[in-house]
A and B are shown apart, each in its own frame.
Chain A
């Protein structure tokens, strides 16, 4: 199952433009770092570091962590700054891409990733700011929840994180891109089939001409 997560992360890395500023969320998004070249991309973490890189066990400094409080390294050219400055970067539109996880994504392009109804709502962190301020949002997630229910739904039943549309969705089954009014299925992941996607998706989406022409549908 670890392979599914790696597959999603690797595919997300392909979406990034060289020299972009990227914020990685917790979970699958963190794995994206394994597939990108330090020199080509600059990773931002909202607790106050621009220029995040991986760190070897022997070099861990407990006072250098990412937003998931995990130890990270300092890339060449890195800088540190306060939380207020860090979120000025985010809200001010200076971060090119945020790669985030999601609990639900709906037909209107909205995502829910901070609270579950019926459970205590006691944490939001930087999720709402990232959705508001990053120029582009890539969602990386398993296609269905742990209980097998679709995550791509017609309307979020979990509290939404923002009204802003998430432009790209990458799951273990498929890649969807927002096309102004709806998501379009643009790619099947690995050896997944259109039938699998249809059976596990209740959100509205269209299918790209390329996929139709390839005869996969």
Chain B
């Protein structure tokens, strides 16, 4: 029969170890795997390098892991909205690697597509070009950006079948499909799990070969904040 990839969150989390590089989907809290992150807060891990557009918000989502001192380094594009990031950075408790958002998303896509990197014109001549190799192509200057990969990616989708085929919802898609391709082990948190064959093959955005585990969400983002939906 089919390989059933449905796991409890705790079982799936056994793949995440101290000093791992972790990709975390989401644009702020939208499309972020909030339930997996909440379970991670109860685990004794540290030294994580997190690749994510933001570090959640202050005290929410990944912001909780930051306050717990579990994150050593953050690679992302916009940390401004979580004011804890500047504080931890200034106290020497957090390293930051800032990338333009398009460079970040393409670096993740490249990592997942087996590419060593790519050249982009974005950030040429700016402070974010410092230390980066340049190349002239057709008379224009480009910067080399290496691809990004992770030990584990934790992502959020709307629906999955038990094989791990994924369907996303609205702007909660964002970085998730790209991150699904770029880690050694991929855990997808989903709101709905259906039997194999119930998803229209044409609507599947992430084919199941990219996904190692699916877990059922326990927390979801509602109009008035993050709510528990029970188990």
Given contacts A61-B170, A63-B170, A82-B177, contact A69 B105 (CB under 8 A): no
Given contacts A63-B171, A123-B77, contact A84 B30 (CB under 8 A): no
- Chain A proximity of B11: nearest CB distance (Å): 27
For A124, the chain B residues whose CB sits under 8 A away are 77-78, 98-101, 128
**Total interface residues on A, using CB and 8 Å?**
41
For B90, the chain A residues whose CB sits under 8 A away are 120
Q: Quick check: A128 and B126 within 8 Å, CB to CB? A: yes
For A22, the chain B residues whose CB sits under 8 A away are none
Binary interface encoding of chain B residues 75-96 relative to chain A, with 1 for a CB under 8 A from any of its CBs, else 0:
0011111000110011000001
Picked from B28, B85, B171, B221, the residue with its CB within 8 Å of the CB of A48 is B171
Instruction: Please tell me if B116 contacts chain A, counting CB pairs below 8 Å.
Output: no
Instruction: Please tell me if B174 contacts chain A, counting CB pairs below 8 Å.
Output: yes
For B28, the chain A residues whose CB sits under 8 A away are 65, 69
CA distance A123 to B27 in the complex (A): 13
For A69, the chain B residues whose CB sits under 8 A away are 27-28, 30, 81
For A19, the chain B residues whose CB sits under 8 A away are none
Q: Quick check: B121 and A132 within 8 Å, CB to CB? A: yes
Binary interface encoding of chain B residues 51-86 relative to chain A, with 1 for a CB under 8 A from any of its CBs, else 0:
001000000000000000000000001111100011
For A48, the chain B residues whose CB sits under 8 A away are 27, 171, 173-174
CA distance A80 to B27 in the complex (A): 14
Q: Quick check: B127 and A125 within 8 Å, CB to CB? A: no
For B175, the chain A residues whose CB sits under 8 A away are 82-83
Q: Which residues from 108 to 128 on chain A have a C-beta closer than 8 Å to any C-beta of chain B?
A: 115, 120-128
Instruction: Please tell me if B108 contacts chain A, counting CB pairs below 8 Å.
Output: yes
Q: Quick check: B125 and A82 within 8 Å, CB to CB? A: no
Instruction: Please tell me if A60 contacts chain B, counting CB pairs below 8 Å.
Output: yes
Q: Which residues from 113 to 138 on chain B have a C-beta closer than 8 Å to any C-beta of chain A?
A: 120-128
CA distance A126 to B223 in the complex (A): 25
CA distance A69 to B103 in the complex (A): 20
For B165, the chain A residues whose CB sits under 8 A away are none
Q: Quick check: A84 and B31 within 8 Å, CB to CB? A: no
The A interface, classified by DSSP as helix, strand, loop or mixed, is loop
Binary interface encoding of chain A residues 48-78 relative to chain B, with 1 for a CB under 8 A from any of its CBs, else 0:
1100000000001111110001000010000
CA distance A87 to B101 in the complex (A): 8
CA distance A62 to B77 in the complex (A): 22
Q: Which residues from 30 to 66 on chain B have a C-beta closer than 8 Å to any C-beta of chain A?
A: 30-31, 53
Name the residue among B86, B100, B222 with the largest chain A CB count within 10 angstroms.
B100
For A87, the chain B residues whose CB sits under 8 A away are 101-102, 105-106
For B217, the chain A residues whose CB sits under 8 A away are none
- Chain A proximity of B18: nearest CB distance (Å): 25
CA distance A88 to B30 in the complex (A): 21
For A161, the chain B residues whose CB sits under 8 A away are 126
Using A162-B126, A163-B125 as known contacts, list a sample of 15 further A-B pairs with CB atoms less than 8 Å apart, ordered by residue number in A: A62-B30, A62-B222, A65-B30, A69-B27, A69-B28, A69-B30, A81-B173, A82-B176, A82-B178, A91-B122, A121-B98, A125-B101, A126-B77, A132-B122, A132-B123
A-side residues, CB < 8 A to B, are: 45-49, 60-65, 69, 74, 80-84, 86-88, 90-91, 115, 120-129, 132-133, 159-163
B-side residues, CB < 8 A to A, are: 27-28, 30-31, 53, 77-81, 85-86, 89-90, 96, 98-106, 108-109, 120-128, 168-178, 221-223
Of the A-B pairs whose beta carbons lie under 8 Å apart in the complex, a sample of 11, sorted by A's number, is A60-B223, A62-B221, A63-B221, A80-B173, A82-B105, A84-B109, A87-B106, A128-B102, A129-B102, A132-B124, A162-B124
